[in-house]
Amino acid sequence: MQLSRAEISAMEKRYRAAFVNSLSGFKSANLIGTISTGGAHNLCMVSSVVHLGSDPALLAFMSRPHTVRRDTLENIHATGQFTINHVRDEFFEAAHQTAARYEAEDSEFDAAGLTPETGASLAAPYVAGSPVQIGLEHRQTIDIELNGCHMVIGEIIEVRLAAELVADDGSVDLGQAGSLVVSGLDHYHQTRSVARLSYAKPDLPVHRLSA
C-alpha cells in the first residue's frame, strides 16, 4: 500500500494521529517528573526522549505546543530541573494514567498511585520502582516554529540504577531492567534480545557479540 501526503492529510484527525504516531518506530516509555516552585509534584508520560550527546551527557524530549497549561514545561522553566524515569510492566498502567488532564494542583503521583522519591542532587521527584532514574538540569528549550512544539534539552547530573544492570563496557541491560517500549499512542511492549553486534568497519562484516 502506498499513501500520499494528500491521503494522509485527508485522514480523520484521530485516525491520522494514531497512524503518524506509529511511523517513527517503537519509542521509549518514560515518565518525566517535575516540581513546581510551590512544591507540587508533577508527572507526565512521554515517548519522545532522545539521546543528544554523551559528553556533556544530554537528553531531550518533545513537548506539545505551549498554547494551553503545560505543567511539565512550566515547572522545568521555573525550577531548571526534571527527572526521566523508565517505565516497566509493574506500573505501566499507572504511567499511562498520568497522561490524563489533571488540575494543576493535583499530583499525578497521587492520582495514578505512584510514589515519589528524592535523589541527592535535585528536588524534582523520581518515580519509586523505576529501574533507571535520571536527574537532569535544564539547558535549553528550542521552539520548533513548523508546528509550535518545543524541544527540551537537559544535562544529566545524576543517574540511579542497580549496579548489576551495567555491563563491563558501560552499556545498560534495558531488557534486564524491564524498560518497556510504546508504539503509536497506547500500545506497550516488552523486549527480547536478538543480539549485540560488533562495531561496524568498512572491510569487516559485523558479527554477533552475544545473544
Count of residues in the chain: 211
For residue 90, what are the CA distances in angstroms to 26, 95, 100, 124, 182?
A: 20, 10, 19, 22, 15
Does position 14 interact with a copy of itself (CB under 8 A)? The reply is yes
Q: Binding to a copy of itself by residue 199, rule CB under 8 A?
A: yes
CB of 39 to a copy of itself, least distance (A): 21
The interface with a copy of itself within residues 21-80 (CB under 8 A) comprises 21-30, 47-59, 62
Interacting residues of 123 by C-beta distance below 8 A, sequence separation 6+: 35, 79, 81
- Considering only residues 13, 37, 38, 67, which one is a binding residue for a copy of itself as defined by CB under 8 A? 13
| Contact set for a copy of itself, span 115-174 (CB under 8 A) | 119-121, 132, 134, 139-140, 142, 144-147, 149, 151, 153, 155-163, 166-167, 169-174
User: Which of 40, 78, 99, 123 is in the footprint of a copy of itself by CB under 8 A?
Assistant: 99
Read off the C-alpha cell for 88: 516497566
* Cβ-contact 96, 108 below 8 angstroms: no
**Residues in region 105-124 near a copy of itself by CB under 8 A:** 111, 119-121
Q: CA-CA distance, 166 to 145, in Å (whole number)?
A: 39
- The smaller minimum CB distance to a copy of itself, of residues 38 and 145, is found at 145
Taking the least distance from each CB to a copy of itself, the nearer of 34 and 178 is 178
Q: From CA 70, how far away is CA 202, in angstroms rounded?
A: 47
